[in-house]
């Protein structure tokens, strides 16, 4: 960065394997907190602003209403706690910062998990006689194409601070899958189930809907409704 002298640094690096974070907290904090601090600090030294991509997991989901940027963080797991620490360190080490929280990300490229949720559901529909998806966990599915365009608009304003950046609306993972199947004309039966059908050792927020309150206050919010974005995604990957 000293040689390149960028104007803006977008830090997408994250250690986000949530179960592994629980068993290796040191690695989680080393990447999500100290690593974020290092990037923010050197960006500041070369005169660049920094974007830190954060997560809905900084909240516990107990609010049961869309979270705004001023709501108090209360993570349930190590991953969420390490991201809260990362946010705080970025704010301290680079005043020219954008802390951007999003949720339910999917796009044309596979995530670090090796797949995206819509693609995984369509694959399961081909492989199984029926598909079961939880109907008691809520978020706003967010298309990475929309997120990237919104990020570009934001960093050009130099309105620094904390921002929620998701598509509009909310749904359960079951509702999302139902919409995907309907658009793709998938006939495989889809069944709603409780989270208890997929037991996990990691506590996760059951409600992860974020409100783009700061973007809207500045007149910058351009995020489409999640249903429109799912359709755009399926067209991009050739399903529609």
What residue segments make up the domains of the chain, in order of their start? 8-236
Position 199 scores a pLDDT of 80
Q: What are phi and psi of 180, to 5 degrees?
A: -60, -50
Q: Kindly compute the dihedral angle of the four CA atoms of residues 78, 83, 88, 89, in this order, to the nearest 10 degrees.
A: 100
Do residues 17 and 66 make contact, with C-beta atoms less than 8 angstroms apart?
Answer: no
What's the confidence (pLDDT) of residue 110? Answer: 74
Mark whether 79 is an active-site residue.
Answer: yes
Mean pLDDT by 10 residues, the chain (240 residues): 95 94 96 98 97 97 96 97 98 98 91 81 96 95 97 96 98 97 97 88 93 98 98 94
Say what the pLDDT of residue 63 is.
Answer: 95
Q: What is the pLDDT of residue 200?
A: 82
* Cβ(172)–Cβ(186) below 8 Å: no
- Any idea which fold 8-236 has? Rossmann fold (3.40.50)
Annotated catalytic residue: which of 67, 79, 143, 233? 79
The predicted structure's pLDDT at residue 121: 96
pLDDT of 113: 67
CA of 115: how far to CAs of 17, 107, 145, 190, 205, in Å?
Answer: 13, 9, 16, 20, 22
Q: What's residue 115's pLDDT?
A: 76
């Amino acid at each position: 960065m000293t040689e390149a002298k960028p104007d803006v640094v977008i830090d997408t690096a994250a250690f986000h394997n949530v179960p592994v974070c629980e068993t290796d907290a040191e690695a989680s904090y080393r990447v999500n907190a100290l690593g974020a601090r290092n990037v923010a600090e050197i960006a500041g030294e070369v005169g660049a602003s920094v974007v830190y991509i954060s997560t809905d997991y900084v909240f516990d989901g107990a609010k049961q209403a869309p979270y705004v940027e001023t709501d108090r963080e209360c993570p349930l797991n190590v991953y969420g706690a390490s991201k809260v620490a990362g946010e705080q360190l970025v704010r301290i080490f680079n005043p020219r910062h954008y802390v951007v929280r999003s949720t339910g990300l999917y796009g044309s490229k596979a995530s670090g998990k090796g797949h995206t949720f819509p693609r995984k559901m369509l694959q399961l529909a081909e492989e199984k006689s029926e598909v079961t998806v939880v109907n008691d966990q809520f978020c706003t599915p967010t298309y990475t194409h929309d997120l990237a365009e919104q990020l570009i608009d934001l960093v050009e304003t130099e309105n620094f601070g904390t921002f929620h950046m998701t598509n509009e609306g909310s749904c359960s993972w079951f509702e999302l899958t139902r919409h995907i199947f309907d658009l793709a004309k998938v006939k495989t039966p889809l069944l709603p189930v409780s989270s208890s059908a997929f037991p996990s050792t990691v506590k996760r927020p059951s409600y992860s809907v974020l409100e783009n309150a700061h973007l809207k206050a500045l007149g910058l919010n351009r995020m489409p409704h999640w249903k429109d974005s799912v359709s755009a995604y399926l067209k991009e990957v050739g399903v529609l």
